[in-house]
Chains A and B, each alone.
Chain A
Amino acid sequence: MPEFANDPEGDAEWEGLLQQLRHQPLAQPRPFFYGRVQARLAAETSRAWLPGWMRRPAYAMLVGALVLVLSGDDKALASGTIPPAASAPIRR
């Protein structure tokens, strides 16, 4: 049995707190809320042509990296380094 059962004084305190909760100053959005919703809707619509997973930066970067690797640019980049013969020690 909870401690507060049959406790008129505690009940009154509790009811007072609930009243306070009910009568808090009413929160409301800042003015021109509709305008901000419209702006957000327009932003969502303009990027709707992209698939959902592409809108995440991590996935977009992964796709970019994959395209780079598959396009063969990595080979071109590797060939730009010092050739093995040039870096071999000179034998006398």
Chain B
Amino acid sequence: MVAPTLDAEVELVAQLQRGSEAAFRTLVDRYQNRVYRTAFSLLRNPEEAEDVAQEVFVEVYQTIGRFRGEAALSTWLYRLATSRALKTRRRTQTKKRLAFFTSLLGFRNEVLHEPPDHAHPLTLLEGQQQFELLLAHIARLPDQQQVAFTLRHEQELSYEQIAAVLGTTVAAVESLLFRARQTLRKHVQPPFRHA
């Protein structure tokens, strides 16, 4: 996708602030895939990613009047998408924990918690399964590390762009990515290493 020029983006924001529906449609068409993919890479669930993407555009529509252009429009959208995705994930985790405890207390007979995975790590370290293992460990990274890692390695944003999304410095992004890679490499190692 060709990135819109700065002038085109400024004009789009101006039209949005005037309440143009055509401009809103252009915004959604232009950014829906990026917003959806960002949410999906943090949630790995199509329904939740869709929900977050919708929420992001609704919020943009409702609050565009307060957008002063301190950051690029795309940065603002990435910021909204990541923060809402993390919020959704926290809510889902809370629900899972609650469901687990209610199932322990015997309020319902069905098993609501995720059944434990008894697969030995050795059996997971093959081909696609190794990739699945990587995804599972990305999901367990601390929020900031996970956002930095997915924006870098899935959305292919530059360090400067990631710093703008997270509201931090490039050096801090480098540190987050270093720690994320270190953690992931410790957990996801080639199979021959364990033989």
Contact = CB atoms under 8 A, between A and B. Distances in A.
Interface residues of B, number: 32
Interface residues of A, number: 25
A53 interface: no
B79 interface: no
Given A24-B154, A27-B49, A36 B131 contact: no
B74 interface: no
Given A27-B36, A33-B28, A34-B28, A21 B50 contact: no
A9 B190 CA distance: 9
Contacts of B153: 18, 21-22
Given A17-B130, A27-B36, A4 B54 contact: no
A88 B53 CA distance: 66
Contacts of B156: 22
Contacts of A41: 57-58, 61
B154 A29 contact: no
A7 B186 CA distance: 13
Contacts of B58: 37, 40-41, 44
26 contacts: A2-B185, A3-B186, A3-B193, A4-B186, A10-B185, A10-B193, A14-B185, A22-B153, A22-B154, A26-B33, A26-B37, A27-B36, A27-B37, A27-B41, A28-B32, A28-B33, A28-B37, A29-B50, A34-B29, A34-B32, A37-B28, A37-B54, A40-B55, A40-B58, A41-B58, A44-B58
A20 B33 contact: no
